[in-house]
Amino acid sequence: MIVQKYLKSFYILLLSLLILTACNPGDARKIPPNAKDRVQKNMEEGRGFRLMDNVGKGQSGTFDFASSNELWRASLDTLDFMPLALANYSGGIIVTDWYSDGSSKNESVKISIRFLSNDVRSDALTIKVFYKNCSMNNNCKVVDKSAELSNELKKKILSKAAIYEKLAKTKNKKKYINKALED
């Protein structure tokens, strides 16, 4: 019984010391003296959090999956006119179904996009374009013609992804104005 009491006190003391030594106040000249200004600055810079923010709102949590990946969104927006056969975000692949615009009854196209990275850069994705040409007796030939169309698609996807990335950065970052230094 006595050992448990001392052990409990020891744990509380140890936890308090860990918490106090983990605090790093930073440069005092850059920290606003007013508590409300400090809270506002931390929230704008993305350093704050709220413990009970979602309680009673009927939400189970916030999920940022494919909607937060600019390359994924840009790829789906670029291929939105084609039916998708497979779109696996965790696997990093999008495969369209065979598509024909109606101008040629015997020719159709299929596109696959493999994501190698989440970064918006030219080597982050690999695009393959397949053409299927069928004769009258349903004898079909599939050819990989990735050179021209894949470069055009990659340029379009990367330009859209760059725009999405820029919008996300400007949306999430607000400029902090230190009111104490303005006066």
Domain assignment present for residue 87? The answer is yes
Which range of residues forms the domain containing residue 100?
66-171
Contacts 24+ apart (CB under 8 A), 149-157: 149/109, 149/111, 153/78, 153/111, 153/113, 153/127, 153/129, 154/122, 154/125, 154/127, 156/78, 157/71, 157/74, 157/75, 157/78, 157/113, 157/125, 157/127
Q: Is a pLDDT exceeding 90 seen at residue 52?
A: no
Do the domain assignments include residue 10?
no
Query: Looking at residues 2-15, what average pLDDT do you find?
Result: 78
H or E stretch covering 72 = helix 70-78
Q: Is 109 a domain residue?
A: yes
Lowest-confidence segment of 14-18, 45-49, 124-128 by average pLDDT: 45-49
Residue 76 located in a structural domain = yes
pLDDT bucket at 63, cuts 50 / 70 / 90 = very low
Decide: pTM greater than 0.75: no
Sorted by sequence, the CB contacts under 8 Å of residue 87 that are 6+ apart come out as: 76, 93, 94, 95
Asked whether residue 55 is assigned to any structural domain, the reply reads no
User: Which of 7-16, 82-91, 103-112, 152-161 comes out lowest in average pLDDT?
Assistant: 7-16
What is the pLDDT of the chain when averaged over all its residues? 77
Within a domain: 90: yes
Give the whole-number percent of the chain exceeding pLDDT 70. 72
> Is 104 contained in some domain?
yes
**pLDDT band with cut points at 50, 70 and 90 for residue 60:** very low
Work out how many domains the chain is built from and give that number.
Answer: 1
CATH number of the domain that 123 lies in? 3.30.530
